[in-house]
């Protein structure tokens, strides 16, 4: 039941080691291999390698397998190495020699490539949609809380006045940068590798333009060697895209954990979103955001793993590529989960009123005080020395905070402009 079976018995230890957990992972690829197999069969019919009756019969059986997948009854039993051998076996079991013809002009190499790229393509679109949803939530929070002052920090020291509106919309705009990268990643995976076979094409008169249109790819990966070299490059690109989103969310989660602590006390969440301690009854822990931070840091490591496994492999296929399937799929599935829980949780944030009379905020407006003196005619450096001297001798008294009117500042958030950026991606 192996696509490469030549009648030679394989050492069971070797078989277990080489197959690994491909059967489990390939459940993520079932629908994409079925789609690619259908497109390939139709193409074989178009170029006269299969009859129209054979194509129709194959399509019927592939549709039955798709129905099994959708209702949860499709399985890849231990008799099979992977989804590809399972599907070919099922076709052959029902259709006999017609089922055996499905592998004409393709290799398991380009089967894996096309299934993975279809999987990445669909999921990058889904990740992008979830990211946009989170951006909308953050822009809504920024709009609702744009008047609420938030002490800004540098070096974890009180620095200058900020606002909750500025904080929420900052992460919204950073996530747009991540959308730009995903858009580029989508272009990389949206190139049809089917027809490259084992990496050197085929002597059959196949029509690769047909399968490209049939599968909804924007273009072909024309060079068959380049198509095979795309194994690894696609995984590196997609996990790097995910890593970028994860980096933004990890930093945001860290802010949230800090801001929830009693020493900051800027925000809180409903009790049902937090956890307690087994011995300290007062605890209200931000476990969900700590786990988001940890998961996102783990996701950032995967892109580096993809590079380390693939960066010195020569052209052509190598079994090392099997090792990048697991964590690239893990990255895709986990960033979707993280985005879902972030969207659910951050929408329930409760912004607190901050007592700016607290002693620790007494120097929050020193820069505004310097600017007041500049507007009265002093040079900036002279004004800096005056206010610095007052701070040093303890005579500084904060003036009322000034409006920051320039575009993108705390009192002019440019929310519509940020939303326009998001909508254009």
Please give the helix or strand (H or E) that residue 160 lies within, else none.
Answer: strand 157-163
Please report how the helices 380-393 and 366-375 are oriented relative to each other, as an axis angle in degrees rounded to 10: 140
**364's tokens:** 């929050």
pLDDT in tens, 331-345: 999 999 999 999 999
Instruction: Determine how β-strand 267-268 pairs with β-strand 149-154.
Output: unpaired
pLDDT for the residue 4: 41
Count the helix, strand and coil residues of the chain and give each as a percent rounded to the nearest 5: 65, 5, 30
Q: What is the mean pLDDT of residues 150-175?
A: 97
Identify which has the larger pLDDT, 116 or 400: 116
Which residues, 6+ apart, have CB-to-CB distance to 299 below 8 Å? 239, 242, 243, 246, 331, 334, 335, 338
Q: What is the mean pLDDT of residues 288-314?
A: 95
160, 166, 167, 173: CA torsion to nearest 10: -130
| pLDDT averaged over every residue in the chain | 93
**244's tokens:** 């970028």
pLDDT for the residue 7: 54
Contact 212/43 with Cβ under 8 angstroms? Answer: no
Tell me the C-alpha distance between 1 and 196, whole Å. Answer: 24
Q: What is the mean pLDDT of residues 388-393?
A: 96
* Residue 109 predicted with pLDDT over 80: yes
CA nearest to 239, candidates 132, 127, 365: 127
Q: What angle do CA 289, 351, 420 make, to 5 degrees?
A: 80
pLDDT for the residue 276: 57
pLDDT for the residue 59: 98
Tell me the C-alpha distance between 205 and 89, whole Å. Answer: 25
Contact 325/253 with Cβ under 8 angstroms? Answer: no
Q: Is 153 exposed, middle or buried (0-12, 13-18, 19+ CB in 10 A)?
A: middle
pLDDT for the residue 410: 94
% of the chain residues with pLDDT over 90: 86
List, in sequence order, the alpha helices (H) in 261-399. Answer: 287-310, 323-346, 366-375, 380-393
pLDDT in tens, 24-58: 899 999 999 999 999 999 999 999 999 999 999 99
Report residue 256's pLDDT band, with 50, 70 and 90 as the boundaries: very high
What sign does the CA torsion over 406, 244, 168, 139 have? positive
Tell me the C-alpha distance between 130 and 308, whole Å. Answer: 29
Write 181-187 long-range contacts (CB < 8 A, 24+).
181/240, 181/241, 181/244, 182/124, 182/127, 182/128, 182/131, 182/241, 182/245, 183/128, 183/425, 184/237, 184/241, 185/120, 185/124, 185/237, 185/238, 185/240, 185/241, 186/121, 186/124, 186/125, 186/128, 187/218
pTM of the model: 0.92
pLDDT for the residue 404: 92
* Residue 283 predicted with pLDDT over 80: no
Identify which has the larger pLDDT, 381 or 282: 381
Q: Could you tell me the CA-to-CA distances from 369 to 160, 166, 195, 354, 389 in Å, in that order?
A: 11, 21, 69, 21, 12
CA nearest to 126, candidates 70, 177, 67, 182: 182
Report residue 6's pLDDT band, with 50, 70 and 90 as the boundaries: very low
pLDDT for the residue 280: 61
pLDDT for the residue 400: 76
What sign does the CA torsion over 108, 112, 118, 122 have? positive
pLDDT in tens, 12-33: 665 555 555 778 899 999 999 9
Contact 415/421 with Cβ under 8 angstroms? Answer: no
Q: What is the mean pLDDT of residues 259-281?
A: 80
Please give the helix or strand (H or E) that residue 244 lies within, else none.
Answer: helix 224-260
Report residue 423's pLDDT band, with 50, 70 and 90 as the boundaries: very high
Name the least confident of 33-37, 172-176, 276-280: 276-280
* DSSP tag of 191: E
Contact 254/293 with Cβ under 8 angstroms? Answer: yes
Name the least confident of 10-24, 55-69, 374-388: 10-24
Identify which has the larger pLDDT, 281 or 80: 80
CA nearest to 151, candidates 387, 422, 398: 398
% of the chain residues with pLDDT over 70: 93
The SS3 of residue 258 is: helix
Which residues, 6+ apart, have CB-to-CB distance to 325 below 8 Å? 22, 25, 116, 235
* Residue 110 predicted with pLDDT over 90: yes
pLDDT in tens, 196-255: 999 999 999 999 999 999 999 999 999 999 999 999 999 999 999 999 999 999 999 999
* Residue 9 predicted with pLDDT over 70: no
CA nearest to 121, candidates 38, 179, 190: 190
If one counts every other C-beta atom within 10 angstroms of the C-beta of residue 332, the result is 22
* Residue 274 predicted with pLDDT over 80: no
* Residue 279 predicted with pLDDT over 70: no
């Amino acid at each position: 039941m192996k696509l490469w079976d030549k009648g030679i018995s394989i050492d069971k230890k070797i078989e277990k080691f080489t197959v690994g957990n491909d059967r489990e992972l390939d459940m993520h690829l079932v629908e994409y291999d079925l789609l690619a197999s259908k497109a390939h069969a139709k193409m074989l019919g178009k170029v006269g390698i299969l009859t129209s009756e054979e194509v129709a019969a194959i399509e019927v059986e592939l549709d039955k397998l798709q129905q099994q997948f959708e209702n949860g009854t499709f399985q890849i039993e231990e008799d099979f190495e992977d989804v590809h051998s399972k599907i070919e076996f099922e076709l052959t079991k029902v259709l006999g020699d017609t089922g055996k013809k499905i592998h004409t002009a393709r290799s398991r190499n380009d089967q894996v490539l096309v299934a993975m790229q279809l999987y990445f393509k669909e999921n990058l679109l889904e990740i992008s949609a979830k990211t946009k949803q989170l951006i909308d939530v953050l822009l809504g929070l920024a709009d609702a809380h744009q008047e609420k002052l938030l002490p800004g920090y540098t070096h974890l020291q009180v620095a200058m006045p900020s606002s909750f509106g500025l904080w929420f919309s900052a992460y919204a705009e950073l996530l747009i940068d991540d959308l730009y990268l995903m858009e580029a990643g989508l272009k990389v995976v949206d190139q049809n590798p089917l027809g490259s076979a084992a990496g050197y094409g085929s002597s059959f008169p196949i029509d690769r333009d047909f399968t490209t249109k049939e599968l909804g790819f924007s273009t072909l990966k024309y060079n068959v060697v380049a198509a095979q070299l795309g194994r690894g490059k696609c995984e590196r690109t997609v996990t790097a895209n995910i890593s970028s989103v994860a980096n933004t969310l990890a930093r945001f989660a860290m802010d949230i954990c800090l801001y929830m602590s009693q020493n900051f006390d800027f925000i809180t969440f409903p009790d049902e979103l937090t956890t307690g301690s087994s011995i300290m009854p007062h605890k209200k822990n931000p476990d969900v955001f700590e786990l988001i931070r940890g998961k996102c840091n783990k996701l950032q490591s995967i892109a580096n793993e993809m590079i380390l496994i693939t960066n010195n492999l020569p052209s052509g296929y190598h079994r090392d590529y099997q090792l990048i399937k697991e964590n690239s799929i893990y990255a895709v599935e986990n960033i979707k989960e993280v985005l879902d829980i972030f969207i659910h949780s951050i929408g329930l944030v409760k912004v607190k009123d901050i007592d700016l009379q607290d002693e620790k905020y007494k120097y929050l407006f020193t820069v505004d005080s310097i600017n007041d003196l500049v507007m009265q005619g002093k040079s900036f450096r002279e004004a800096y020395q005056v206010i610095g001297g007052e701070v040093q001798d303890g005579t500084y008294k904060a003036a009322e905070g000034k409006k920051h009117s320039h575009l993108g500042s705390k009192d002019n958030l440019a929310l519509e402009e940020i939303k326009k950026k998001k909508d254009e991606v």
